[in-house]
Amino acid sequence: MLLSIQDLKVAFRLGKENGEQKRALAVKGVSFDIPENSTVALVGESGSGKSVTAMSILNLLPSNAERSGQIRFQGRDLLKASLRELQAMRGKEIACVFQDPMSSLNPVFTVAQQLMEPLITHLGLSPRQALARAEELLHEVGIPEPKRRLSAYPHEMSGGQQQRVMIAMALACEPKLLIADEPTTALDVTIQRQVMELMGRLKDKHRMSMLFISHDLGVVGEISDHVVVMRHGEIREAAPVADIFNAPRDAYTKALLACRPSLTENPARLMVIDDHIAGKSANMDHKAKDPDAPVVLEVTGLKKSFWLKQGVFGKREFQAVKGVNFKLRKGYTLGVVGESGSGKTTMGLTLLRLHEPTGGQVMFEGRDLLTMSGADWQQMRRRIQVVFQNPYASLNPRFTIAQTLREPMEIHGIGIDSADREARAVALLKKVGLDESAMAKYPHEFSGGQRQRIAIARCLTLQPEVLVLDESVSALDVSVQAQVLNLLKDLQDEFGLSYIFISHDLAVVKFISDEVLVMQNGDVVEQAATQALVSAPREEYTRRLLGAVPRGYQGPSA
C-alpha cells in the first residue's frame, strides 16, 4: 500500500474563551488507503474536510492546525516526520496541483525558473540540464512551442496553460503520489477534458498514484478507480467508482449524483441535497413560457475590438466580438456558451456598455442603448443588471449587506425613505433564501453560494427586466449550484425576468435556457432552441463542447 490514512483527526485552534482553548474539528476520524498506480477521489461539498484531509499528508496546513492519527507513506508515519523530512519529500515523492494556478505560480519568475527549481533542489541537476528537462516537461504536458514558452511569465499564459505548467512542475521529479486539489474546477469543459486526459496519461506513463479532490461526481467518475465521499469531516461512503455510480448506498452520495444538471434528462427543477436526504421530491411546478411574449432586447451586429500594441509605435486591431445578432423575449433565457476567449463575456459586457462597443445596435423598447447618454442611460442601467462570476470580488468587503442592498436604491431614488428601502432589502433577502439577520453582517461572513444570492438580491433592488449572468454559478459546488439555478427559475417565474446566461458548461445551460447561442473566436457559430441544439448540433465545434461535458462513470468500455 502506497499511502494509508488511519483515524485522522484535524482540529483548528480558534483562540481562548473564558481561559479555555477553543477548537474546531474539521476532520473527524477519517481512514482510507491509496494503492500503488491507482486514483482515489475525495468528493464532497465545500467544508466537507476533503482539502484539509489531503493537505494533512504533507502538513500544508496553517500553524493553528492539530493532527492526530496515522498517515503512513510507504511505511513511514508522516505525522511523526520532521519539517526537514517533509520538505525533502514535497515535490520529490509527493507533489501537489492546486485549484488556482495563478495563486500557486510565482508572478515574478519565468516558467523556466519555476520548473528548474525542483529539478535543481531535489535531483541535483545543473542549470543547463534542468533547462533542457524543463523544455521536455512542457512538451510532455502538451504546451505548444515549449522552448519559447520557457521565457514566459504566468500572466502571459491562459488558465489551461497555467494549469499544465503546474502539472509539469508537480511531475518534474516523477513523484509516487500526486495530490490534485480541484485542478479543473475553474476551467472550460474542453480544457477540463484535456487536463483530465493529460493527468490520466501521465499517471499511467509514470506509474504513479493520484489523490483527486473534487466536488463534481461527473468529473470524478471519469478519472478515478475508488471514491471516498465526505461530509462534515466524516466519510459517508467509500467504494469502487462503479459501485458509487451504479449502486450508491448512502443518501448523501445519491443526493450529490441527483443534484447535477444532465444533458440527457429534462427536470423542471434540480434536486438539492437536504431535500433528497429528507426524501422530498422536487416541486415540479413552473410557469409555462408565452410563445408570443414581447421582445425586450434585440441585438444586431454587435461588435467590439481592442487595439493591441505592435512593435514600438504600431498597433493592431483584435476583434473580440464580430457581429452578434439575437432577440430576447420577456421571461425567456438565452444561453451563451463557448470556450475561454470565445468572446461571450466581452459580448455581455459590451451590450451593458461596460465595454464601449465598436459597432452594432442594442434595441430596448425601441431605443438604442449604445447611443444613449447622460440621464437617459442612467435610467436604463437600472433595468438591465449584471451578476458576475466571482461573488468574493463583486461585493464591497467594507459594506454590510444592508448597505450593499440600500446603495443602488438610494442612487436611483427607489423607495420612499430609508425605512422603506430597509423593508425592501429584507424582503429581497427572503426571496433569495436568506433572513433578516444577514443585514448586519459583512460579505466575508457568508459562503460563496450565499454571496451569490446576495449579489442577485442586489440586482433585484432596482427591479430590472433583464439580467446578464456571467458564469454566475461556475465557481459553486454542484449542490449550491442547484439551489441558485432553482432560485433563478423561481425569480423568472415571479417577476417575468429575461436572462442572458453566459457559461462554459452546456449541462447547466441546457437546464436553464430556452435558446442557446454558441460562440467561437468572437463569432456566433450556431444558434438554436436548447433541446434541438443538444440533440442534433450542426457544427463540429458544438459537438466538441457537448462531448467534453463530464458524464460520470460510463463503465469499463467507456
pLDDT at 283: 60
**Structural domain contains residue 314:** no
Say how many domains are in the chain: 1
Cell of 414: 427607489
- Residue 11 inside a domain? The answer is yes
| pLDDT above 60 for 558 | no
Q: Which tens digits make up the pLDDT trace of 411-449?
A: 888 888 889 999 999 998 888 888 888 899 998 888 777
CA distance 193 to 420: 50
Q: In what order do the strands lie in the sheet with 226-231?
A: 94-97, 177-181, 209-214, 39-43, 226-231, 234-240
The answer for residues whose C-beta is within 8 angstroms of residue 542's C-beta and 6 or more apart is 518, 525, 526, 533
What is the amino acid identity at position 172?
Answer: A
Q: What is the DSSP letter of 376?
A: H
Write the DSSP assignment of 380-447 as a string of letters.
HHTTEEEE-S-HHHHS-TTS-HHHHHHHHHHHHT-SSSHHHHHHHHHHHHHHTT--GGGGGS-GGGS-
- Look at residue 288 and tell me whether its pLDDT is greater than 70: yes
186: in domain? yes
Distance between CA atoms of 371 and 373, rounded to whole angstroms?
Answer: 7
Supply the DSSP string of 326-341, one letter for each residue: EEEETT-EEEEE--TT
Report the pLDDT value the prediction gives residue 42, as an integer from 0 to 100.
93
Please check whether residue 387 lies inside any domain of the structure. no
Q: What is the pLDDT of residue 478?
A: 79
- Asked whether residue 270 carries a pLDDT value surpassing 80, the answer given is yes
238 or 281, higher pLDDT: 238
pLDDT at 284 over 70: no
In this prediction, what percent of the chain has a pLDDT beyond 70? 96
174 confidence band (pLDDT: 50, 70, 90): confident
In three-state secondary structure terms, 167 is: helix
Q: Is 303 exposed, middle or buried (0-12, 13-18, 19+ CB in 10 A)?
A: middle
> Mean pLDDT, the chain, as a whole number?
86
Distance from C-alpha of 101 to C-alpha of 200, rounded to nearest angstrom: 19
Question: Do the beta carbons of residue 36 and residue 2 sit within 8 Å?
Answer: yes
Tell me the pLDDT band of 186, cut-offs 50, 70 and 90. low
What pLDDT score does 506 carry?
A: 86
Q: Is residue 158 part of a domain?
A: yes
What backbone phi and psi angles, to 5 degrees, belong to 167? -65, -40
> Could you count the other beta carbons within 10 Å of the beta carbon of residue 66?
12
Q: DSSP for 91-107, please give it.
A: TTTEEEE-S-HHHHS-T
* Model confidence band, residue 260 (pLDDT cutoffs 50, 70, 90): confident
Instruction: Indicate whether 305 belongs to any domain.
Output: no
Residue 314: which pLDDT band, with cuts at 50, 70 and 90?
confident
Q: Residues with Cβ < 8 Å from 102, sequence gap 6 or more?
A: 154, 155, 159, 162
Q: What is the CATH number of the domain that holds 44?
A: 3.40.50.300
Residue 139 lies in a domain: yes
Enclosing domain of residue 142: 3-277
∠ CA 485-490-491, nearest 5°, is 100
Confidence label for 279 from pLDDT (cuts 50, 70 and 90): confident
Highest mean pLDDT among 18-22, 226-230, 337-341, 393-397: 226-230
In a domain, 60, yes or no: yes
The pLDDT value recorded for residue 557 is 44
Provide the pLDDT for residue 556.
62
**Mean pLDDT comparison of 67-76, 136-145, 176-185, 304-313, highest-scoring range:** 67-76
Q: What is the pTM of this model?
A: 0.81
pLDDT value, residue 483: 83
Residue 555 — very low, low, confident or very high, per pLDDT cuts 50/70/90?
A: low
Would you tell me how many other CB atoms lie within 10 Å of the CB of residue 553? 21
Most confident of 7-11, 136-140, 161-165, 363-367: 7-11
**pLDDT at 281 (0 to 100):** 66
